[in-house]
Every structure is written in C-alpha cells, then in structure tokens.
Chains A and B, each alone.
Chain A
C-alpha cells in the first residue's frame, strides 16, 4: 500500500550570473594559456624524441640508441650519483642549521639566517667559478687536493652551496611548527634528550626532511650551470642535453635526454606531493610554539657549526667577488675593475645585464598578474570543477619539469614553422613567457595560500550586495593579498635574474641575458669576467630582495593603515 503523493521532481536549472560567466571565461582562457606555455611545449618535446633528424617518425629508435650508447647512459648514472651524494650531505647539514635557527639560542640569528640565503641570489655557475679560483688548474689551494677539482668533487661542493638555502628554508619551516607541549610531556615523562630527539623532534620534522631531500635531489639532477663550469669530463644529463642540442645540433637525441631527465624530477615531485598530502592531517590546530631556552653547551656547539657553514658560504661568494676584481689570476693579484667592462669579453657588453633586468621585470609583472589572477579565478569560480582540476594540474606541472627540458620544449614548439606563434621565437617575449612558465608553480601556490587565508565569504557578501566580483577583487582581495603579491613578484624577479637552464636555448643575439652571457664568457675561458657578471647579478637580486624586506616592513604599514591594530 503506497499512497505517497508523487512529488514532481523537475531538474533544477542553475542559471549563471554575469560574474559566473566572466570567471568561467577567464578560467578557460587560463587553461588555454597554460596549455600553450607549459603542456604543448612538453608535448612537442615528447614527440621530438620519436623523430629522426629530418622529422620522420622512428618509434623508439632514439631511445634504443640512447640506452645502448654507454657514453650517454653513463651520464644518467653520474647524475644520480652526484644527486644522491649531495642530498646525503645537504639534508643533514640543513637540518642542523635549521635546528640551530629554530631550537637553540643563537647570537645574531638574523645574520646567520640571512647568510644562509645568499646562494639563492646567485646564478648556479657562481660557486663553480669560485671553486675554479680556489682549486682549479691555477687555484690557490690546488696543492691541497689530490686530483683535479673538475669533475665529481667540484660538482658536489658547488651543488652543496647552491642547494643549501633551499633545504634550510624547508627545514626551518618544518622545525618552526613544533608543539612545545609535546616536549613538555616528554620532559615530564623523564625521557632522555636522545630519546626526545628520536621520538619527538625527528618524527615532527619527517615530512620536512623528505621534502628537503627530494628538492635537493631534483635541484642537483636538473641543474646545468654548475656541471657546465666545473664538470670537466664528468658528464651529467643536463650538460648532455646542452651538448646534444648546441654542440651536435642533434635535437632528437636532446629530446630523449630531456625525457630521461624529466623522469626523476617528475617522480620526485610526485612523491613529494603524496607525502605532503599526508602531512596536512597531522598538523594540530592548537600547537603551542616552542621558544628555546639558553643551554650553554648546545648553543656553543651550534653557534660554532653555523659560523663554520656561514664562513663557507661567504668564502665562496667572497672568492668569486675577489676573483672578479683581480687583474690576472694568480700572477698579478692587484685589483682592477677591468673585468666589469663586459664589452671586452662579450659582444653585448653590459647590454645583457640590462636585458636581464628587462626580462626579470617583465616576468615579475606579467607572471605575478597571471599567477595571482589565475589562482583567484581557480579559487573563487563557483562550480566548474573539472576545469578547475585541470588548472590545478597544469599549474603544478612546471614544478616537475627541469628548466633545460622546458627550454628545449620551447624550441620545438615555438620554432615549428607551422605554429602561428612562431613570431615569438627569438624575442624578449619568449624569454619572459618561458620564465613565467618555468616558475609558475610556486607563484600559483603562494597566491592560492594567501587567497585561502582570507574570509571565503567576501564574495558571498558582495554578491548579496550586487557588487560585481571583479570590483571586490580590486577593492578588497588584491589589496589584502598585497604582501603575497609582492612575494611572488620578488620571487620571479630573483629567479629570472639567476636562471640559466631554461633560457639558454631561447635567447637571440640581441636578447642575451646576463646569466647566459656569464656562461658564454666562461666558455671562452675568462673566469674573472664571468665571476664579475655573476656578482652583478647577486648584488642586483639581493638589493631587490632587501628593498622588498624594507617595503614590507615600513611602506606597507604606512600605505595600508588598516594593517595596524
């Protein structure tokens, strides 16, 4: 007996507001842009690996020839070997350094923190150049080392310098979020220091350690500048790509090496994402921050350790700086500015530096706008789940792609005669586009995090008040996120100044960048001028960062009175 009145179920038709439509159009456009600047170049690279020199499809022939050529395959083993050794050195060192910064009472903490960041402002070839001065064929301390610095040892030392800040930043974040209550509980239970370290400290930093290890591994395996300068006859994947493409003009084999290089980077990235996803569930909401108390022996030990590491970093930077100022290493040590007259070493002279500035500024402006607006569209569009998922995927992709691989993909994609966009090839624009794409993920993540932190109901309120959503974006969302926007812009600027790998294939004579010019000058054998150019880059990026910190501290408070309580 069923007498229930049949309820007429008419399918609900949700109509879209103008805002909804606008946002969706924006998202689709963003997908289009990301496909063009990330996915399609990678696709072109993938396809190239299956073609011979004349563009005929040859199946796996290139791959087979790659894996059966010991010289090539050896580079892959070399890359893994170097990356594993560097990871094993950098991660414990960074852990200790970060431990000192977060868990001990360190005199001049900010100074140690600042020094640990220096390598970020340098192109990766700088530590290579410094090592050449110290231990190279004409090096000061050449006698101290048994063999030659060129090769495995040199790469490892330079990579440790170059990767150290990245690992340290991750470890500081991981260790800074400790819950003091856990330590109090362990103390109350009378656990020994060693036991507390292994049962509380280390597990708490577990995800940070994994993340740092993966980041270092990826950085080393994908870096090009260091191996180029100090690698000697020790071949690695990144230099092989360069040699195949620039040296032998064998684009197909370059593409194959690129794919081989892409695999570990992408894998490391994937593992990191999976691990980080787990971590979110572990964070407790009401952690009590840990404030370290002075303890003489421990503090002394860590102060000594940090001093040593900092001295190492400063020594490498200082060596490059000194070398750039010396007349004729090592025979005439009198000082000169001659090495800074770049016109004597490279046809472009100082112009490449100004190109770098233009490129970095362009990347900062275009990239920040694209990343922030893109993240905003992705966060705030109602419904449209599939497209938002695709945006998320495309935004994450660049993180997994080594710069040199992306750059190679750009050649194949943008240089194709049938690509209507090929007018971009060999312009400043393509350098900007490539750099934006290369560093897209971090900017996107920074913007997304900032957007998630503001009240999700702002858009609801403005819809109820009939204010278009883009007006709220301009009047409320963007101003509130200004610190994050500045962070993204500075991040892009610094990276655009220092990057070598992705742009090395894409510059034209009149758009050569300072970092590329440094590689060329070094190739031509003038270490001093290359070091000088690197130093100009370091000073510029560090100055921009310093300005940023000052602006953050003083200007933002003044311009945005509402931030003061």
Chain B
C-alpha cells in the first residue's frame, strides 16, 4: 500500500460479545481527502469511525495516522476533531465558549482565544452568534457551531458522524455545499459517516461502501455509481434493474427466452446463475440503430411522474416475465407520445450493463 497515505487502517476488527460489528477492515486515506463511509444503518460505519478516533477501541487491528501507530492510544492522544449527529454542544456554555472550549486548556492568551473564536465563527457564517446559547440557535446553526468547535484546534483529521441527518432537507442541502467548500479551503483530511447515498455522492472525493461490517467497495463517486463492484453496491447506490439469468458465454447472458450481450466476464464460470443489471437512466429509446445490441420490444405498463423525468415500468413483449424500469425524460415522452400501453423498442447498451453472480 502507499506509504504516503495519511491514515492506514489494517485488519481492523471489532466484536461486541459474539457479534462481529467489523470484520478485518483495511483502508487508506490520503492527506486532504474527503472520504465518506456509506452503508445501511447498522453496517458498522460509526463503529469504524469511533475506532479511528479511539473512542471505542477495536478488538484487533492497527491504525496509523501520519505514520504514527495510534492503535492503542486514548482519544486525547490522537489528533482529530469530531462532530456528532447530536452535535453534543454544551448547553450551558455560550456559542463562543463552546467554540473556544479546546483553546482555553491550551493556555493561550485570552485575547488570542477570543480572536480565534471570532475567526472560526465568521468562517462558519455565524459572526454574531458568540454570546448566544446553543438552544437559541436553529439546528443548522448548531451544526455549524459544532463544526467550528471541532476545527478550533486545527486537527489533522476531521470526523463527522451523520452530521446532517438531524436537519431538514433544505438546510441539509445547503450545508452539504458549505461543509464541502470549507473542507476544500482548509484542506483538512475528513471522514464523514452517512447512510444517505446522495450526500456521499455529492460530497466525497472517495466513498467507502460498507455492508455487514465489511467494505464492499472503495472508489470515487463516479466509479461507485458507474461501476459498482458488487450487487449490493449496485443496489444500494442509485436505482438499478436486476434481471435474473444464466451466463451462456463470457459475453452473453440468457434471461428467459432472451439473450443479452454484456461486457467480458472472465471471473464467472459458464452456466452460473447471474444477475444482469442496468440503471434506469441507461435504458436507451431514441435513435436506435438498426443493428443495435440488446434490443428489446416492450410495452409501457406504468408511468410515474417524478418531476424532471418519468419512471416507466416496462414489460418485455416477447417474454412477459421479464420486467424493466427505465427513466424517460419529459421531452422523450412528448416526442414519442409515450403513454401507458405504448409499444416501444428499447436497448440495453452492453457497456452500461453489469453482471453479478446471483
């Protein structure tokens, strides 16, 4: 592995009694990177984050931060700032005292602390909130105070555990951008835990998709979305059609009475039960060339208006058991006069198709 990585996690396991919350997880995080742990709730994201912080030490495995082995160190001897879902703001201290909490114990001059607190509050867009108490602030504002407090001591690593999930949708959207911009500006290595794929896709430089205490895939948002490594990732991130079939040749999958071309599969034995997947927005309808691959005649069974586009449930006309979901733009629906009961030809571009062992 690269020796330049800022954080190295090796074979990390965590057990609670008989229950394995993390099974031998390894991971590298580069300096300045924004990494998201993404996965369904209960998959071990928080457990991994807390092990990295030293708050709930792992059962086995090592963690190195900036080359230093911190595996067994208590949190106070590690270098990180943390924001919790609850924010954990001290309700009896003013916003300024909250933000300056970590500075006071560093025996800095009173004036210097006040100046730094002012600077931090300005940075998170709350320049005048210093004298207020946390309860007088909105959820989004409290979140920013927690962020300022975590950043006050200029930690090398910023840990965020579902920082946005207690907020309402609009505030959440705005804060996503603010946090991301702030992180870019400061260049602080950041790990954020979330179960919201959209959050991970928009904010992360790299996403670590987790399931059942193990890492399923690590990659850029594009990689995760375009080339999900496992059926779980494919299903968890974005929407996905799964069609059950058998691998006939390394490049053909038989589904019912139909045969589909797919990218070369060298890892799977012929005759294996597989699942062929394609995203709804990758199903092509317009301008299909005569010799287009994977052409399927379908009937529109349902049409759900979702706003910017319509989600269509399609039934394959030659094999009624095979069903597909496709996203059609409003333009397309207008131009082709698509309606429930319409007959269409669609194509599943082979380069957009992925095959997973069933």
Asked if A141 is at the interface (CB within 8 A of a chain B CB), the reply is no
Contact of A562 among B57, B75, B92, B102 (CB under 8 A): B92
Residues facing B in A456-472 (CB within 8 A) are: 457-458, 460-468, 471
Find chain A residues with CB under 8 A from B62 CB.
Answer: 10
Asked if A560 is at the interface (CB within 8 A of a chain B CB), the reply is yes
Q: How far is the CA of A15 from the CA of B70 in the complex (A)?
A: 10
Q: How far is the CA of A458 from the CA of B82 in the complex (A)?
A: 11
Asked if B152 is at the interface (CB within 8 A of a chain A CB), the reply is yes
Find chain B residues with CB under 8 A from A463 CB.
Answer: 55, 74-76
* A16-B74 in contact given A460-B55, A565-B135 (Cβ < 8 Å): yes
Asked if A17 is at the interface (CB within 8 A of a chain B CB), the reply is yes
Q: Are A464 and B105 in contact (CB under 8 A)?
A: no
Q: Which residue of B lies closest to A476 (CB)?
A: B90
Contact of A17 among B59, B61, B76, B106 (CB under 8 A): B76
Q: How far is the CA of A565 from the CA of B136 in the complex (A)?
A: 6
Q: Are B73 and A465 in contact (CB under 8 A)?
A: no
Q: Which residue of A lies closest to B97 (CB)?
A: A475
Contact of A464 among B59, B73, B80, B135 (CB under 8 A): B80
Q: Are A13 and B72 in contact (CB under 8 A)?
A: yes
Q: How far is the CA of A466 from the CA of B101 in the complex (A)?
A: 10
Asked if B171 is at the interface (CB within 8 A of a chain A CB), the reply is no
Q: Which residue of B lies closest to A465 (CB)?
A: B102
Q: Mark B61-73, 1 if CB is under 8 A from A, else 0.
A: 1100000000111
Q: Which residue of A lies closest to B80 (CB)?
A: A464
Q: How far is the CA of A20 from the CA of B75 in the complex (A)?
A: 11
Q: Mark B103-137, 1 if CB is under 8 A from A, else 0.
A: 01110000000000000000000000000011110
Find chain A residues with CB under 8 A from B71 CB.
Answer: 12
Q: Are B82 and A468 in contact (CB under 8 A)?
A: no
Find chain A residues with CB under 8 A from B80 CB.
Answer: 464
Q: Are B88 and A467 in contact (CB under 8 A)?
A: no
Q: Which residue of B lies closest to A471 (CB)?
A: B105
Asked if A480 is at the interface (CB within 8 A of a chain B CB), the reply is yes
Find chain B residues with CB under 8 A from A193 CB.
Answer: none
Q: Which residue of B lies closest to A464 (CB)?
A: B82
Least Cβ–Cβ distance between A304 and chain B, in angstroms = 44
Asked if B11 is at the interface (CB within 8 A of a chain A CB), the reply is yes
Q: How far is the CA of A565 from the CA of B132 in the complex (A)?
A: 11
Asked if A479 is at the interface (CB within 8 A of a chain B CB), the reply is yes
Q: How far is the CA of A468 from the CA of B101 in the complex (A)?
A: 11
Asked if A19 is at the interface (CB within 8 A of a chain B CB), the reply is yes
Q: Are B74 and A17 in contact (CB under 8 A)?
A: yes
Q: Are B105 and A466 in contact (CB under 8 A)?
A: yes
Find chain A residues with CB under 8 A from B75 CB.
Answer: 17, 460, 463-464
Q: How far is the CA of A460 from the CA of B78 in the complex (A)?
A: 12
Least Cβ–Cβ distance between B7 and chain A, in angstroms = 15
Residues facing B in A503-546 (CB within 8 A) are: none
Find chain A residues with CB under 8 A from B74 CB.
Answer: 14-17, 19-20, 382, 463
Asked if B155 is at the interface (CB within 8 A of a chain A CB), the reply is yes
Least Cβ–Cβ distance between B17 and chain A, in angstroms = 12
Asked if A455 is at the interface (CB within 8 A of a chain B CB), the reply is yes
Asked if A248 is at the interface (CB within 8 A of a chain B CB), the reply is no
Q: Mark A465-495, 1 if CB is under 8 A from B, else 0.
A: 1111001000110011000000000000000
Q: Are B105 and A468 in contact (CB under 8 A)?
A: yes
Q: Are B153 and A458 in contact (CB under 8 A)?
A: no
Residues facing B in A98-131 (CB within 8 A) are: none
Q: Are A466 and B92 in contact (CB under 8 A)?
A: no
Q: Which residue of B lies closest to A382 (CB)?
A: B74
Q: Are B135 and A465 in contact (CB under 8 A)?
A: no
Q: Are A562 and B91 in contact (CB under 8 A)?
A: yes
Q: Are B72 and A14 in contact (CB under 8 A)?
A: yes
Asked if B197 is at the interface (CB within 8 A of a chain A CB), the reply is no
Least Cβ–Cβ distance between B346 and chain A, in angstroms = 45
Find chain B residues with CB under 8 A from A476 CB.
Answer: 90, 92-93
Asked if A7 is at the interface (CB within 8 A of a chain B CB), the reply is yes
Q: Which residue of B lies closest to A468 (CB)?
A: B105
Find chain B residues with CB under 8 A from A455 CB.
Answer: 84, 86, 88
Residues facing A in B276-309 (CB within 8 A) are: none
Asked if B45 is at the interface (CB within 8 A of a chain A CB), the reply is no
* A457-B102 in contact given A7-B11, A480-B91 (Cβ < 8 Å): no
Residues facing A in B152-176 (CB within 8 A) are: 152-153, 155
Least Cβ–Cβ distance between B75 and chain A, in angstroms = 4
Asked if B209 is at the interface (CB within 8 A of a chain A CB), the reply is no
Q: Are A465 and B72 in contact (CB under 8 A)?
A: no
Find chain A residues with CB under 8 A from B77 CB.
Answer: 15, 17
Q: Which residue of B lies closest to A21 (CB)?
A: B74
Asked if A280 is at the interface (CB within 8 A of a chain B CB), the reply is no
Q: Which residue of A lies closest to B135 (CB)?
A: A565
Q: Which residue of A lies closest to B104 (CB)?
A: A467
Least Cβ–Cβ distance between B74 and chain A, in angstroms = 3
Asked if B149 is at the interface (CB within 8 A of a chain A CB), the reply is yes
Asked if A9 is at the interface (CB within 8 A of a chain B CB), the reply is yes
Q: Are A458 and B90 in contact (CB under 8 A)?
A: yes
Least Cβ–Cβ distance between B137 and chain A, in angstroms = 11
Least Cβ–Cβ distance between A562 and chain B, in angstroms = 4
Q: How far is the CA of A20 from the CA of B84 in the complex (A)?
A: 22
Q: Are A461 and B93 in contact (CB under 8 A)?
A: no
Q: Are A15 and B93 in contact (CB under 8 A)?
A: no
Question: Given A461-B82, A463-B76, list of 19 further CB < 8 A pairs?
Answer: A7-B11, A11-B60, A455-B86, A457-B84, A457-B86, A457-B88, A461-B101, A462-B101, A463-B74, A464-B53, A464-B76, A465-B152, A467-B105, A468-B105, A471-B105, A475-B93, A480-B92, A562-B91, A565-B136
The 3 A-B residue pairs with the shortest CB-CB distance, nearest first, are A465-B102, A17-B74, A457-B88
18 A-B pairs, CB-CB below 8 angstroms?
A7-B11, A9-B11, A11-B60, A12-B57, A13-B72, A457-B88, A458-B88, A458-B90, A460-B75, A460-B82, A461-B88, A464-B102, A465-B149, A467-B102, A471-B105, A475-B93, A476-B92, A565-B136
